[in-house]
Amino acid sequence: MKAPNLNLKMGRGMGKPGIKILFILGCITLAGAIIGASGDQGSQPIQYNHKLHVEDADLACLDCHQNANTLSRASIPNISICGDCHDDTESENIEERKVAEYVSNGVDIPWVPIHIVPDHVYFSHRRHVKLAQIECKDCHGDVSQMERPFSIAFVNMEMEWCIDCHEERNVTNDCYACHR
């Protein structure tokens, strides 16, 4: 990002700390605006509709996110699953046609990941979904009603969020449980 460099350059020439602070505040606001805007941009390659697949096509979350019960990552489905129902490259529905084209070309759909914790954090879906029986909804919102693909996370998956629930449910908050 360019703003901090600019800030250093300007700061050097100016003796007055007041101006420097104002400038830094300006940069922070600017950076905030840039980050805020990029949150909305996460447009997915296909206008995927959860509601249609869950309610109308009667699929369960685990039909597509096949590892949520067994592994740490839930996994995002790709053409091997979509191809079961979408192979009509002549479909009149543009979005469906796009899916069918990925399928017939054997190219994975480049979904943009939205819910991610950093590498130094250990999170396991199996632990929370299978063992603790926490519903997807509690952490991801009512996905079954979503008609547009994800562009932002339902909750900010920050440390406090994890720790608050662990506290409520008497689960360990030992640093090494989550940072291994």
Residues that bind ligand HEC (CB under 6 A): 44, 46, 48-50, 52-54, 57, 59, 61, 63-65, 68, 73-77, 81-82, 84-86, 93, 95-96, 99, 111, 113-118, 121-123, 125, 127-129, 131-132, 134, 136, 138-140, 143-144, 149-150, 157-159, 161-163, 165-166, 169, 171-173, 175, 177-179
CB 25 within 8 A of CB 34: no
Closest approach, Cβ 142 to ligand HEC, in A, equals: 8
Closest approach, Cβ 10 to ligand HEC, in A, equals: 27
Residues 6+ apart with CB under 8 A from 82: 99, 102, 103, 109
Closest approach, Cβ 11 to ligand HEC, in A, equals: 24
Closest approach, Cβ 166 to ligand HEC, in A, equals: 5
DSSP secondary structure string for all residues of 55-120: IIS---HHHHSTTTTTSS------HHHHTTT---TT-SSHHHHHHHHHHHHT----PPP-S---TT
Residues 6+ apart with CB under 8 A from 178: 121, 122, 123, 159, 162
In the complex with ligand HEC, which residue's Cβ is closer, 19 or 163?
A: 163
Tokens 């995927």 correspond to what residue? 48
In the complex with ligand HEC, which residue's Cβ is closer, 18 or 133?
A: 133
CB 173 within 8 A of CB 165: no
CB 17 within 8 A of CB 89: no
Secondary structure (3-state) at 126? helix
In the complex with ligand HEC, which residue's Cβ is closer, 14 or 135?
A: 135
In the complex with ligand HEC, which residue's Cβ is closer, 6 or 165?
A: 165
In the complex with ligand HEC, which residue's Cβ is closer, 33 or 159?
A: 159
Closest approach, Cβ 13 to ligand HEC, in A, equals: 32
